[in-house]
Every structure is written in C-alpha cells, then in structure tokens.
Chains A and B, each alone.
Chain A
Amino acid sequence: MSESPIVLEAKGITKQFPGVLANDNVNFDLRKGEIHALLGENGAGKSTLMNLLYGLHKPDKGEITVNGKNAIIHSPNDSIELGIGMVHQHFMLIPVFSVAENVMLGDEAVKNGSLDRNSVAKKITDISKQYGLDVDPNALVGTLPVGIQQRVEIVKTLYRNAEIVILDEPTAVLTPQEAEDLFRIMRDLTARGVSIIFITHKLKEVLAVADRITVMRAGRVINTVKPSETDSAQLANMMVGRQVILTVDKQDHEAADEILKVEGITVRDQRDLETVHNVSFSVRGGEVLGIAGVQGNGQTELSEALTGLRSPTSGKVTIDGKDLTGKPPRIITEAGLAHIPEDRQRHGLVLSYSIADNMALCDYYHAPFSSRGVLQPKALDENARKLISAFDVRTPSAFVNAGKLSGGNQQKVIVARELSRNVKLVIANQPTRGLDVGSIEYIHSEIIKMRDRGVAVLLISAELDEIMALSDRIAVMYRGQIVAIVEAKKTTREQLGLWMAGAHVQTA
C-alpha cells in the first residue's frame, strides 16, 4: 500500500473560527486506493478539515495538492472538478426529491432543455450494479431508511466520477449490518482505485478497515499509525490524551416501583403503516431497560409515541401512575420525562438558538429561567456554564448558536440538558450517536448514576455493546413487536443477535 502514489495532500492547514482554532497547522495525505481513517474527539476539527478539502470553507493558511499539482479550491465546484466527493456527517439530501433528482442536482443531464431523468436513472442503475449499491432511482429520498440514504450519497459522488471520497462519520447512523455492507462497498471502491478518507469514532471499525489511521486532537494532528501497530486502548489514549475506560462500571442495584408502564400500544408511522403492534412492557425506578433491535423495527415510532411526538392508535402509557397516552410533549415532560431524541437536529435542538437557550428548552418558562414571564439571562447563562463544563461541550462560549457546534458537541448539549434535570424517567434513543470514546464513557456513567438515584431508564440503541453494557433487562424489538425480554446477565450477544434477526419468540 505504501508504494502507491499520494493523490491528495494537505500541508500546514490552519483555520480559525470565532473563538476556536479548528485546524492548527494540519498535515495530511491520502494514497491511491487506500482507506485512511481520521480519528479524534468531538470538536477536534475533522469535519472542518474535510470541509476545507471540499471547498465549503477557505483555509486561512496552508496548501492542498491533488495528484501532485497545487489545487485551488474555492468552492465545491472546484473540488468536484478535481474528483473529490464528500458524504457529509449530516446528509445533504433533499427529502422531497427523487433519488435521481438528488443525484443529478448540480450536474444535471439535460436533453432538449429538459431534465433527462431516464438517462440519469440508467447511470444510477449502472453504478448500483457495479458497486453493489442497491438503490431505486425513482424512490423519494424522504421515504428511504438512513442506510439507503447514505448509499444515495455515495452514488452521488460516484456519479460525478469521484476518485477521492470523503466519508464523514458514515457509520454513526447505520446498523451493524448496514455498516458491514458499507465496508464491503468501501473495499470494492478501493479495489477500483478510489481513495477514501473515513471518519469515525468507532475504534473497532478503524482497526478493521483502515490502511492508515491519523488521530487529531484540538485542531492538531497527533500521529499517523498503521492498524497493525496499535490497538483500541492506545488509539483512545491518543484521541483524548488520557486513559479511557472502555467498559462501564456498574454495580447491582435494587429496582423500585414501576415508573413507566406501557400497555398494548399500537402506533402508525407517517405513511400510516402500523409499525408498532400491541407492545407492552414496564420500566421500574432504578433499572435500565434496553431495547435492542435492528433499526427500523418500530423503535423510532415507539419512542415517539412514549414522548408525545406521535399519538398511539391504541393502548395506554402511564408514567408514575398518571395516564399520559397521546398527551403533548410538554405535559409528559412535566410529568417527569427526560428525552434524548434520535434525530438531534430535528427534535433535539433549535440550531439557530444559542447553547444557553437550548439548554433551557424544557423548562425556560419556570423559575429560575423565567420570572413573571420574563427570561432571566443570568440564570440561563449560569446553567449553561455549569453544563458545558460538566459535560465537556467544546465551544468558545455559551452564546454560540447550536448549529455552529461540531456534530458530537450538538449531541452533548442535548444529553446535558436532559440528564441534568430532576426527572423520574429517561428515554434515551441512541444517546451516544456520534460521540467520541471519552464522551461516551462520561455519558454512560451519568446514565448509571441516574439509575442508581432511582430513575427509570429506557435505553433504545442500535449498538449492542451499549445495550449490553448499560441494561439491567433487555427487550428485543422485531417487526414492531417485543419478541423477548430477558435479564441482561442471563443472555449473550449471540442470543440477542438471533432474536434481532427474528428467530424463535420467547419471554423470560
């Protein structure tokens, strides 16, 4: 691998954002046909470096060469021209457009003045076949699961004949199966001479697929290593700058009374399909119930129904004895719910509000944040400062808009807000999606602390490791039903995996 020529090189890249030196004299190179992984804690500057390579931002200093030639990249047009394609951390797809329209946007096929959808569809089908990227060119993107949306993003880059593909945290939103699929696609691509920059927080993935690994911290490159010369612990150490405990320290704990009780609820999604069928379970104070399952088996609709974002068509939801079926989110929140939603940008944050305002989003209308209907900036500020330092949110100040934070730090703002409130029940849907190992360690310990204080925790996660590490009991969801509920200690990954795949139904 090391003999192949360098296709992309960044030299001495520096980028200053207001209050943050996001990239500090960064050197980085990519060889032909390799997968070069980029690791680093939240806010380390990974996305920024990629945005600079892709022309979305301009570096303050430094130069970029592509195929040995000095490259002038002022806009994505320039980088596309140079054969660079990027799959962004937050997808850049238009939900109301078809796959073909999304793919051709910006590089449209036109015949006699009108869009030539057929020829684009044909080209997409060709790419699909060639790389095993199955997508229907006529499907509306908004109706596709995230795993397929991601394929659309990759097809978008290949449609433009990209030879260098940047994947910014592509696996954060994927199920393990989908991730495996992606790795296969990545290997296919590199076998055909495409070079890939792969950003992730999952150390196992890095060790499995990367040819080289570069670690960033606080805007600087710490080191570049080969997977064969390192291991998870060392990588974690390089990223965070200290020892990270990769397992959760959890003592046995006596569960108390039932807090959340779900009786036979049925939920329909926005296409009016029944995605949760007659589901019942309960969570007691002081226990963590983990819901395992391949994404898209009704977990999203279930958590929406429990948190008031969607009304169940039948069944009953009670929190601490109070019937809250189909009640609006505010009522449920006031009854003692903390909710970490699955989609941070849609349901968790107001991106154009400051961090301080976002951190008070659930109770801005109560003292101390409000007094006689007037917001108290001092209280908001104090609260924000406290949470920013406790949860290690990397930001120049509490007044920065949430939209300006790195993806993982946006997640931390939500987690900080929700886990710092005095609640009876926590519903956490993919709480550590997109977080670095250090932050995951902290948030896991916070969740366990809440459980030890007697809070009921419903954890929904596509990460089996996370479910295994935190749960006292585990429920497995398959095709909208709970097919098994077991004591965490009495089961194995393999058994859970079988249930998740739909094998034999059993309740214990």
Chain B
Amino acid sequence: MDWKRFGFIALIITVLFGVVVVVGQAKQPPLLIITSMLATTIAVATPLTLGALSGVYCERAGVVNIGIEGMMLTAAFFGWLGGIYMFQIYHMDAMVSIVLGVFFAILTGAIMALLHAVLSITFKVDQIIGGTVINILAVGLTGFLNRQLFFGKGSVFGGSVPASPGVLPTIHVPITELFTSICGSSAACLENVQAVNRVFDQKPIAMGAILLVFLSHYVLFNTRWGLRTRAVGEHPKAADTVGINVAKMRYANVLIGGMFAGLAGAYFTIESVPSFEPLLTNGRGFISLAAMIFGNWTPIGAWAAALVFGASQALLINMQIYRDVIPPQWAFLQQSYIVGLTPYILTMFILTGIIGRTTPPAADGVPYEK
C-alpha cells in the first residue's frame, strides 16, 4: 500500500462525510454527525473487512476465491439457524445460543472453503468455476432450506419463523466514564465525549474484525506462516524445492479464509439483525474482493478500502435520517437508489486502476503441478 492509495481513500471518505455534514447540520451539530457516521461506517464495513481478509488469505496462497459471497450467505443462514435450534429446540440460554450460532457460521464457512479447496487444489478445477459453483450452491441451498424449514404446509417450524435468540450486544468502552472528572460540570464537554464514545462502542464481531486486520497483517508479513503462505502464492515450485508442502499450505489458507467469510456471514444474521432473508449478502462478498484488490492484497490496505465502502453505505443510511432537511438543489440525494449506487460505482471506479495498478501474487489462480 502506498501513500497515494491511502490519500485517495482518505479523500473519498472525507467527501462522503462532508456531504452528510453539509446536509445534516440543520438538524445536528457536525461533531455528532461525524461520530455517528464513523460509528456506522465501522459497523457496516465489518463484513467487507472480513470478506477482504478471507480473500487475502486465499489469494496470498495462490487460490482465487470468488466464492466468498456464497460462503458468507451460507454461513449467515446456518449460523442463524444454529442459534434458533439451540434456543428453541434445545432450550439453551439466549446468549449461549448466539455464541454457538457464531461458531456454526464459522464452521459453515470452513466447510464451504473445504469444498473450494478440494475442487481447486486437489482436482485443479478452474478456480473461477469452483467459486461460481459455491455461489450458486449457496443461493440454492439457503433458499431451499429456508422455504422447507419455515414456510408453507409441512415445514419443520409449521409455517412461521420462530423467535431467534437475538443479536450480539454492543460492548461499551468506558471513555465517557474516564472523562467525566475531566469534563467536570461542563455539559457540552460531556456531550462531545459521549459522541466520540459512540465510535468505540461496537459489537464484538466489528471489534474483532479490526483486531483480525492487524493480527493478519502481522502474521502475513512477520511470521513463518506468512512467509510460507506468500511463497506458495508467488512461486509454488520455489517453495516446493525448499521442502514446503504447497498443497497443505494452500488448503490451510483457504480454510482460514473460509472461516473469515463465515464470521462475515455471522455479522449479518447474528450481529446486525436477528433474521435471515434469501440473498441477504447482496453482493457484499464481491465488494470485499474489490477492497482486497484495491488494498493490494494486504490486510491493512484491504481494511482501508473496506472503510470506503462502509462510508458509502453509511451515507445511504444517514441520508434517510436527514431526508427532510436535504436542500432542494440536492434533491437527487433523496432518491435512495441513487445514493445506494455509490458503493457499486466506487467499485467500478476503483477497479479501473486510476489510482495506479495493484499486483496480485504471481501464482494467484494457478494450480500447482510438479
């Protein structure tokens, strides 16, 4: 990642935030708008960040994974379903069911990834086809099971969706408490601190995703595992000649990638909202791949790019809040479908390579044959 790239990212985020500040200042003070935008950006960027990390692990090891979308969708479904089973059928505690749901989601991601690994590493099937298989399978499987289990006559849950155990709670970071004495009796000061505090009060997967970004960056560039992973993605034969088992490294990384995609799936149905609907990932897996590419296959770069997409989604959400105060000359911003296009337009824009081209690992997508 070069500074030009980070500068570009900072610029776009500033523009997106600026639009909301300009529109919303009639209703809210700028600080409040910026902090709430930031909080939303970080939250909604979570699945994109995790999806991009999933891609980074796979592709750094030389396996192209366009099946992240499908892995997320399947994981979102089974994580949610697992939570419901634990809660409704086994009468477990709601919190325990939720945590087990996350676990199921990760497991589902890993199983889907195993399928991709077997196809692309063992059977050397074209990796784009392998990924497509997973995407199609995911749509079909989740759609079918969703119908069979919950809707219509003879369905397992008798035609209605039972209550799920709910969503993961927000974790409060006690910044306000820390500052109360400093602010003293100044209400304005306290209000500002509370606004800033909101950026840090995130849910566990969102927080975990950021930790995983830095952890992954460290692992990839400073550990034996990372060195070997990058080696098999750059020049598998060279890795082979120094005694590294190429297939094993690739399998492991694809499985890790699947677990990340699974966790991203859990975000949708266990952290964001406690429900599932068909096709709910809505292309987020593909946008993750764009973030990975724009981030030049590095975890921190991919995260920064994911934040851009997060910000554009936050723009959409906030525009609905400030709908009634949008100035008439900006009336087009009331059209949510126009604002909703931003992430997709950004994707196309970013992938044109205007900000300089990025280089994938040299053996990305190439099966290894001795």
Residues in chain A within 8 A of chain B (CB atoms): 54, 56-57, 75-77, 80, 86, 88, 92-97, 101, 104-108, 110, 113-115, 156
Verify A86–B241 contact, CB threshold 8 A. yes
Structural contact, A105 and B227, CB atoms closer than 8 A: yes
Chain A residues whose CB sits within 8 angstroms of the CB of B240 once the complex forms: 56, 76
Task: Jot down 9 A-B pairs with beta carbons below 8 A, ordered by A.
Answer: A54-B241, A56-B370, A77-B243, A80-B243, A94-B238, A97-B234, A105-B227, A106-B228, A156-B242
Asked if A108 and B227 make an inter-chain contact with CB atoms under 8 angstroms apart, the answer reads yes
User: CB distance A106 to B223 under 8 Å?
Assistant: no
CB–CB A105/B239 < 8 A? yes
Contact between A92 and B238, CB atoms less than 8 A apart:
yes
Complex A-B, nearest 7 residue pairs according to Cβ-Cβ distance, in ascending order: A106-B242, A77-B243, A92-B238, A114-B222, A108-B224, A76-B243, A92-B241
A40 to nearest B CB, angstroms?
Answer: 22
Give the residue name and chain of the B residue nearest to A404 (CB).
Answer: B369
With A57-B370, A101-B227 given, is the CB distance from A76 to B222 under 8 Å? no
Residue on A nearest B366 in the bound complex, by CB? A352
Nearest A residue to B359 by beta-carbon distance?
A: A96
Q: How far does the Cβ of A407 sit from chain B's closest Cβ, in whole Å?
A: 14
Select A115's contact among B223, B231, B234, B235, beta carbons within 8 Å: B223
Known: A92-B235, A108-B224. A76 touches B370 (CB 8 A): no
Q: How many A-B residue pairs have CB under 8 A?
A: 66
A91 to chain B: closest residue by CB: B238
Given contacts A56-B241, A86-B241, A93-B238, contact A105 B231 (CB under 8 A): yes
For B203, the chain A residues whose CB sits under 8 A away are none
A86 to B237, CA, bound (A): 13
Q: Is the interface of A mostly helix, strand, loop or mixed?
A: loop
Chain B residue nearest to A101 in the complex (CB) = B227
Interface residues on B, range: 20 to 34
Which of B222, B237, B244 meets A105, CB within 8 Å?
B244
B231: chain A residues at CB < 8 Å are 94, 97, 105
Q: Which residues of B contact A107 (CB under 8 A)?
A: 242-243
Closest to B363 in A: A94
One of A94, A108, A113 near B234 (C-beta < 8 A): A94
Could you tell me the distance in whole angstroms from the C-beta of B81 to the nearest C-beta in chain A?
Answer: 37
C-alpha gap A194/B240 in the complex (Å): 24
Contact among A57, A94, A95, A106 for B243, CB-based, below 8 A: A106
Chain B residues within 8 Å of A105, by CB = 227-228, 231, 238-239, 242, 244
The residues of B that contact A101 with a CB separation of less than 8 Å are 227
Instruction: Give the CA-CA distance A123 to B71 in the complex, in Å.
Output: 45
- Measured between beta carbons, the chain A residues less than 8 angstroms from B239 are 105-106
Shortest distance between the CB of A111 and any CB in chain B (Å): 11
Measured between beta carbons, the chain B residues less than 8 angstroms from A106 are 228, 239, 242-244
Report B-chain residues with C-beta under 8 Å of the C-beta of A113: 223
Query: A96 contacts which chain B residues (CB < 8 A)?
Result: 230, 234, 362
Known: A94-B230, A95-B235, A101-B227. 11 other contacts (CB 8 A): A57-B370, A92-B238, A93-B235, A93-B238, A97-B234, A105-B239, A106-B244, A107-B242, A110-B223, A115-B223, A115-B224
- Chain B residue numbers with a CB within 8 Å of A110 are 223-224
Whether B238 lies near A76 (C-beta < 8 A) is no
Whole-angstrom CA separation of A93 from B237 in the bound complex? 9
Q: Which residue of B lies closest to A96 (CB)?
A: B234
**Given the complex, which residues of A lie within 8 Å of B230, measured CB to CB?**
94, 96-97
* Residues on the B chain within 8 Å of A92, using CB: 235, 237-238, 241-242
Contacts of A80 in B (CB 8 A): 242-243
Measured in the bound complex, the distance between the Cα atoms of B239 and A194 in whole Å is 24
The chain A residue with its CB closest to the CB of B244 is A106
Residues of A within 8 A of B243 (CB): 75-77, 80, 106-107
User: Which residue of A has the minimal Cβ distance to B245?
Assistant: A75
How far is it, in angstroms, between the C-alpha of A94 and the C-alpha of B222 when the chains are bound? 16
A56-B240, A75-B243 are known contacts. Are A114 and B234 too (CB-CB below 8 A)?
no
- B235 surroundings in chain A (CB, below 8 A): 92-95
Query: Which B residues between 201 and 224 are near A, CB-CB below 8 angstroms?
Result: 218, 222-224
Alpha-carbon distance between A86 and B235 when the two chains are bound, in angstroms = 17
Which residue of B has the minimal Cβ distance to A88?
A: B241
**B227 A76 Cβ-Cβ under 8 A:** no
Rounded to whole angstroms, the CA-CA distance of A104 and B241 in the bound complex is 13
- With a cutoff of 8 Å between Cβ atoms, the chain B residues found around residue A114 in the complex are 218, 222-223
> Within residues 155 to 177 of chain B, which ones have a CB less than 8 A from any CB in chain A?
none
Please measure, in the bound complex, the distance between the C-alpha atom of A119 and the C-alpha atom of B243, giving whole angstroms: 21
* CB of A211 to closest CB in B, whole Å: 27
- Complex CA–CA separation, A75 to B234 (angstroms): 20
Residue ID in chain B nearest A57 by CB atoms: B370
How far, in angstroms, from A110 to B228 measured CA to CA in the complex?
13
Q: How far is the CB of B235 from chain A (nearest CB, A)?
A: 5
B216 to A: closest C-beta gap in Å: 14
A115 to B224, CA, bound (A): 6
Quote the shortest CB–CB distance from B165 to chain A (angstroms): 37
Q: Is the CB of A115 within 8 A of B241?
A: no
Greatest chain A CB density within 10 A among B223, B230, B242 is at: B242
How distant is the Cα of A57 from the Cα of B242 in the complex, in angstroms? Answer: 14
B361 — nearest CB in chain A belongs to which residue? A96
Task: Say how far B233's CB is from chain A's closest CB, in angstroms.
Answer: 10
Report how far A92 CA is from B370 CA in the complex, Å.
Answer: 13
A373 to chain B, nearest CB (A): 24
Cβ contacts under 8 Å, A54 to chain B:
241
Complex Cα distance, B240 from A86, in Å, reads 12
Complex CA–CA separation, A107 to B239 (angstroms): 11
> Which residues of B in the span 301-350 have a Cβ within 8 Å of any Cβ on A?
none
In contact, A76 and B224 (Cβ under 8 angstroms)? no
Q: Which residue of B lies closest to A115 (CB)?
A: B222
Distance in Å: Cβ of B228 to nearest Cβ of chain A:
7
- Greatest chain A CB density within 10 A among B227, B237, B238, B241 is at B241
Instruction: Determine the chain B residues whose CB is within 8 A of the CB of A93 once the complex forms.
Output: 235, 238
Q: Which residue of A lies closest to B224 (CB)?
A: A108
What residues of chain B lie closer than 8 Å to A97, measured between beta carbons? 227, 230-231, 234
Q: Is the CB of A76 within 8 A of B223?
A: no
Of B235, B238, B240, B370, most buried by chain A (CB within 10 Å of CB) is: B238
Within the complex, the shortest CB–CB distance from A410 to chain B, in Å, comes to: 15
Closest to A77 in B: B243
Q: How far is the CA of A80 from the CA of B242 in the complex (A)?
A: 8
- With a CB–CB cut-off of 8 A, which chain B residues contact A56? 240-241, 370
- Could you say which residues of chain B place their CB within 8 Å of the CB of A86? 241
Q: Which residues of chain A have C-beta atoms less than 8 A from B227's C-beta?
A: 97, 101, 104-105, 108, 115
Distance in angstroms between the alpha carbons of A64 and B223 in the assembled complex:
36
Interface residues of B in 221-266 (CB under 8 A from A): 222-224, 227-228, 230-231, 234-235, 237-244
Give Cα A97 to B218, complex, Å: 16
B241 with A76: CB separation less than 8 A: yes
Q: Which residues of A contact B238 (CB under 8 A)?
A: 92-94, 105
Q: Shortest Cβ distance from B245 into chain A, in angstroms?
A: 8
B residues 134-163 in Cβ contact with A at 8 Å: none
Q: Which residues of B contact A156 (CB under 8 A)?
A: 242
Q: Which residues of A contact B223 (CB under 8 A)?
A: 110, 113-115
Least CB distance from B359 to A in Å reads: 8
Complex formed: what's the CA distance from A105 to B243 in Å?
9
What is the bound-complex CA distance between A97 and B234, given in angstroms?
Answer: 9
